[in-house]
Structure 1
């Protein structure tokens, strides 16, 4: 006898029960359909559809973080040629605001992904960033560039950052770490492409058409990524679910693993972008390198980060995420401190490559472990967005703090900048060790996470 029979008050006989066993309907006063109680099919771990989404997310990341990582070339051009009346500090805020907004908007984009708005965010974000690039080609004043390259690109990119990672995370379990690593490899690859495009075209075409060429490349990569991410996909969220998803989960504020995860990322991101921001000017002012050679240092660091992400992702799939993550955080801090003793161009190149290699995994590994930090899938997007919002503050203030330590009034002394970036990243690495023991004691997991 079913609950429906009891609640309707119908008399169920032995014969009717027999009929129900062999027929999809029950013969009483009216026909009542019976829904078979079959479990839903299990979620596939990977598959062709999921790996195509990894490729699509790779293209998205090549535009999101790739454009951020290429800002060093813009900084040099704005400072020396295009915005000569603005201070280097003011110019640097364009890139900082874009990076901070990219991460901060994740506070909203994570829950919106949970609610099923990935398609809308993908189209608005991709086409919005492309439109911002075309508008940038028309700009000649500081406030115009800040609005387009700083604010508009940051807002539109933020719609895609966390949803792109969450989409890949939904499709994988066993191979989640390597899938995340492949996805985020789009960031350094995009950074290399946009840096090379800017360097090769700026003297030939001028600023306006160089930016338009980059915008057309961006548009093409987005148009390729849209069908890879959307066609035939069934893991894009649930617009039809009756439950209301939270934009802010207050219970996270009482969860110690959430705070340990968030503060670890805060200190890591506080120092993460400092070398990428200042190695070029350091090479020129302290080692006498040419501008093109110093920009090649950034490209070498970005290329090395590709290998670091792939190796860390593979290692995480074999031994867990925490060991590669702790190693990456502590090693990045150690190399930043070692930067103090670098006095030759060869040692500087080696430092840049090693820092790029070990700092690269700091982007893909954190979201891979967050499903353990937050085991409730209903609030995973909201909590991940909150954690990334805390990290966005670090991305916003890290480079300016380092710049203030550089300008001490006694000339360009980089020791304060180098020690600051190294110490805060090492602090983040030690907090990751604390997170590891918290997860072991408070989550039902094994020794390897």
Structure 2
């Protein structure tokens, strides 16, 4: 990997003054602060992506029990609008991070996240669930995710991929815990109190994450006053590597999250498993994802993030196509385990490559927010498109044609993987990046 260090300077930001020294150059105290921030980022991902990965259990419960008259495609919009806002809000939260408002976003993001979850516990109709779980929680998550990733990306240089791998492993860990809580409590306590208990857990983890992250709330950059006022950087729109990165990530995310939405429903409707078995299979994929994220990012640290990203994308697409042959519980569990382990790296690897895409370290948050907000549209439309394809000639959520979901996910990720080769070439020809990064 290229060793590109952030300029070591002290800059006054709106909230506080801090040293911008990377962890690899800062000695023992910088190492401790860096590890604390990785742990804080772990808790953020535990909540924002963990609840997104756990949406498969919500999807199955809504479709088969809570609001069965609503189509699978319509229900999936609840989760996809949440994941889209989680990423797309980076268009604002990324520049605000560069301007030094990280602490403020932690407070406001936590408030909206908890508010949305509490309002979900009072919801009984589709529109109310959509507004609380989809819109309100998505906005809260969006104020936290991109700035947290940018913080870790800027804090680390040589060990960036490993740091992001450990931090984002909180996502599948959260998916496991929240899925387990939902599955265990929903029968005895009902929907309302199950959601409230999950909301209190989320609040506690966000508070702890805020304390760990905001101890050094931002790694400032060498910005002029004009740059600090900038919420949008036109230079990115004229940059081919930026657009290549964004387009590749869009195609990959179009198919990546979709299987997680439909794993429990597939197990119940196609393999005749119980609701709890479907949830446990989903948790198995998330457990495999924890191991996969750490191992693949360690591989990326040794051999390069770019080659790791390409390999994981190709294998993930092939696995989605192999899902077509999963006609038994055993085969389905094998697919879920391998898919979770390999596709899990598709979250930490793009941000570890992005500092090579952005040539201006002082605008990393802005550029990353712009790229992620565009790529985020894939998370918005991917599962509903797959659900619509699966609903053709079906009579409801219990009669889906999963071949449409499997082909859609596999083909889009495979195409996205090959489009990364163009990004690789552009980084070599325009940025002078050699090797595997």
TM-score clears 0.5: yes
1:322 aligned partner: 306
Which structure 2 residues correspond to residues 173-322 of structure 1 after superposition, within 5 A?
173-231=157-215, 233=216, 235-237=218-220, 242-245=225-228, 246-322=230-306
Establish whether residue 44 from structure 1 lines up as the match of residue 20 from structure 2.
no
Partner of 2:355: helix, strand, or coil?
Answer: helix
2:63 aligned partner: 79
Q: Distance in 2 between matches of 1:65 and 1:99?
A: 8
What is the CA deviation profile of residues 107-141 of structure 1, one whole-angstrom value per residue up to 9, with x for unaligned ones?
11111100001000011112221122122212222
Residue 41 (structure 1) shift: 8.6
Q: Which moved more, 1:405-414 or 1:364-373?
A: 405-414
- Structure 2 unaligned residues grouped into runs of 5+: 1-18, 25-29
1:422 aligned partner: 410
Q: Distance in 2 between matches of 1:169 and 1:414?
A: 37
What is the CA deviation profile of residues 346-374 of structure 1, one whole-angstrom value per residue up to 9, with x for unaligned ones?
11100000011110000001011111101
2:363 aligned partner: 379
Which structure 2 residues correspond to residues 91-240 of structure 1 after superposition, within 5 A?
91-231=75-215, 233=216, 235-237=218-220
Give the counterpart of 1:446 among 420, 428, 434. 434
1:400 aligned partner: 384
CA contact (8 A) 1:115 1:238 kept: no
Instruction: Return structure 1 stretches of 4+ with deviation > 3 angstroms.
Output: 40-44, 234-241
Residue 151 (structure 1) shift: 0.3
Residue 415 (structure 1) shift: 2.1
Q: Distance in 2 between matches of 1:342 and 1:85?
A: 28
Q: Distance in 1 between matches of 2:165 and 2:106?
A: 20
Give the direction of change, closer, same or farther, for the CA distance of 1:280–1:172 in structure 2 (3 Å limit): same
CA contact (8 A) 2:102 2:214 kept: no
CA contact (8 A) 2:73 2:383 kept: no
CA contact (8 A) 1:249 1:382 kept: yes
Give the direction of change, closer, same or farther, for the CA distance of 1:50–1:92 in structure 2 (3 Å limit): same
When normalised by structure 1's length, the TM-score is: 0.87
- Structure 1 unaligned residues grouped into runs of 5+: 1-39
2:14 aligned partner: none
1:56 aligned partner: 40
Partner of 1:379: helix, strand, or coil?
Answer: helix
Q: Distance in 1 between matches of 2:379 and 2:264?
A: 19
CA contact (8 A) 1:98 1:154 kept: yes
Higher normalized contact order (CA 8 Å, seq sep 6+, divided by chain length) = 2
Residue 234 (structure 1) shift: 6.2
CA RMSD of aligned residues (A): 1.8
When normalised by structure 2's length, the TM-score is: 0.90
Partner of 2:327: helix, strand, or coil?
Answer: coil
CA contact (8 A) 1:185 1:306 kept: yes
CA contact (8 A) 2:152 2:164 kept: yes
Establish whether residue 434 from structure 1 lines up as the match of residue 422 from structure 2.
yes
Residue 425 (structure 1) shift: 0.3
